[in-house]
Copies of this chain bind each other. A is one copy, B any other.
Amino acid sequence: MGKGDINNSCNPFEVQGSVNYDKLVDEFGCERIDGALIKRFEKLTGKPAHLLLRRGMFYTHRDLTALLDDYERGVPFYLYTGRGASSESLHVGHLMSFFFTKYLQDAFNVPVVIQLTDDEKFYYKEKVTLEEAQRLAHLNAKDIIACGFCPDKTFIFTDTGYMGTMYPVVAKAAKMITFNQCHGVLGDNIMANIGRVFYPSIQAAPAFPGSFPMMFGTRKDIRCLIPQGIDQDPFFRLCRSIAPRMGESKPACIHCKFFPAMEGPNSKMSSSSTAPSTIFMTDTPKLIAKKVNKYAFSGGQETRELQEKLGANLDVDVPYQYLRHIMEDDLRLEQIGQDYANGKLMTGELKKICIDELVKIVEKHQEAMRHITDETVRHFMDPTRQSLKAFSMNNLRI
C-alpha cells in the first residue's frame, strides 16, 4: 500500500477493518463540515440540508467554502461523481451517495457528470474482461438513473465510450503527473500494469470543464464539485495538485464516510465481497429481512432483561446506523434512538423498523427501474443531445 493512504486499511482499492475518519482532517488537510457551513447550504439553496449532510455522513471537504463564495457571486459549477462497475446491481450504500448528488443537483440547479470507470475495473480486476466491465457499467447506469437525476442536466459516460472526446484533457493531466507522484499516492498496486499507472489522469480529466465541450465549450471559469467516498481522496489530491499548472481551477471535494457493512459500524459495504450480507437494490423484502436479522451487528443486549436494564449502544448498532442514513424524519429517528438506548425498544423491534425502511427504499428503486429502458440509458449517455447543451447554455452564465 502507498504511503499516502488514508490509513493502514483504506485506499481506493481495498477497505478493510476499522476506518480512522479523522485522518483526512488531521493529516491530509481537509476541513470539517460544521453547523455554520450546513446553515449556509440551507440559506443558499432555500432547502433543508440533506440528511447525510446534517447527520455528519458527508463530513469533510476541500475548497467547498470557496466554491460557495464563487457560486454566490454567480460563478457556475457542475457536479462530478462516478462509479467503478464491479457488480450487476448496486447496493444500498452506493445509492446513498447518488441520492446525495441528486439532492445537490436539485438544490443548486447544476449539471452532473457521472463517470463509469469500466477501464479502471478492467485494469484492477485480473479476471474481468473489458467487455464484461462495459456490460456492468451499462447495467449500473440504469440504477444510477433510477435515483432521479434530471435528464436535461445529467451526462453519464463510460471511459471506454467517451475517451475520444476526453483524451486531450486526459493527456494534459497525464503530462503533469510524474511516476513517483502517482506511486507515492497510490502505492505498489499500480505496478501490476501501465493502465493502472495512467488511470489517475483518466479520473482527473472530468474534474476540468474542457472534458465536456458540448456542455461548457472552452470555458475555464466553471468550477467542479466532487462528492466522493473518502477512499477516493488520494486520486483527487493528485488531481488538485496538477490543476494550477494546467491553468485550471482545483475541483472542490466533499467526502462521505462509508455506508457500513452489516458486520460492523466501522466498515464499508461491499458489492464485490462474497459476503451474503450486502443489501442489493434487487433484493426482495424477504431477503432483506433475512439479511438484517441474520447478519446485522447489534448494539443491543443479549436478553430482554439486560436490554431493559442497560439499553443499547447506538454507536455500534448497524441497524440504527442504517436508519441514520435512510430515515428522513429527524424527530422520529431521535425518538427511536432514545427508546433503544434507554432499553424501551428491543433489538428485534429496531431491526423491524430498519427492515421496513430498507424495503421502502428498495421497492421505490425497483419501481423506478421498471421505467428505465435501454433507450433511457442511451439518452443519458448521449453527449450530442440538444437538451444537455441547451441547459448549460441557458443556466451557466456568469
Residues of A within 8 A of B (CB): 119, 122-123, 130, 159-160, 163-165, 167-168, 171-172, 174-180, 182, 190-195, 197-198, 200-201
Q: Across the interface, do B174 and A195 meet the contact criterion of CB distance under 8 Å?
A: yes
Knowing A174-B123, A174-B198, say if A160 contacts B168 (CB, 8 Å).
yes
Q: Which of B160, B167, B168, B198 meets A197, CB within 8 Å?
A: B198
CA distance A119 to B201 in the complex (A): 14
CA–CA, A176 to B193, complex, Å?
6
A179 touches B172 (CB 8 A): no
- Closest residue of chain B to A128, judged by CB? B175
- Given contacts A178-B192, A191-B180, A193-B178, whether A171 and B201 have CB atoms under 8 Å apart is no
The interface residues of chain B lying within 8 Å CB-to-CB of A193 are 174-179
When all copies of this chain in the complex are counted, the total is: 2
- Which one, B123, B163, B175, contacts A123 given CB within 8 A? B175
Residues of B within 8 A of A179 (CB): 179, 190-194, 197
A290 to chain B, nearest CB (A): 38
Within the assembled complex, what's the spacing in Å between the Cα atoms of A193 and B177? 5
Bound together, the chains give a CA A165 to CA B160 distance in angstroms of 9
Residues of B within 8 A of A200 (CB): 194
Determine the distance from Cα of A130 to Cα of B167 in the docked complex, in whole angstroms. Answer: 11
For the complex formed, measure the closest distance between the CB of A223 and the CB atoms of chain B, giving whole angstroms: 23
What residues of B have a CB within 8 angstroms of the CB of A182 in the complex? 194
Residues of B within 8 A of A176 (CB): 193
Q: Which of B130, B164, B175 contacts A195 (CB 8 A)?
A: B175
Return A217 CB to nearest CB of chain B, in Å: 16
20 example contacts (A-B, Cβ-Cβ < 8 A) are as follows: A119-B171, A123-B171, A130-B168, A130-B172, A163-B163, A163-B167, A174-B193, A174-B198, A176-B193, A177-B193, A177-B194, A179-B190, A179-B192, A179-B194, A180-B191, A182-B194, A194-B201, A197-B197, A197-B198, A198-B198
With A178-B193, A197-B198 as contacts: A171 and B160 at CB distance below 8 Å: yes
How far does the alpha carbon of A279 sit from the alpha carbon of B373 in the complex, in Å? 61
Chain B, residue nearest A131 (CB): B168
Question: A167 to chain B: which residues have CB within 8 Å?
Answer: 119, 159-160, 163-164, 167
| Distance, CA A122 to CA B168, complexed state (A) | 10
A198 surroundings in chain B (CB, below 8 A): 174, 194-195, 197-198
Q: Are B171 and A130 in contact (CB under 8 A)?
A: yes
Among candidates B122, B171, B178, residue contacting A171 with C-beta atoms closer than 8 Å: B122
CB-based closest 6 A-B pairs: A164-B164, A198-B198, A174-B195, A163-B167, A179-B191, A197-B197
| A312, chain B: closest CB distance, angstroms | 48
A197: which B residues are within 8 A, CB to CB?
A: 179, 194, 197-198
**Please, how many angstroms separate the alpha-carbon atoms of A302 and B376 in the complex?**
81
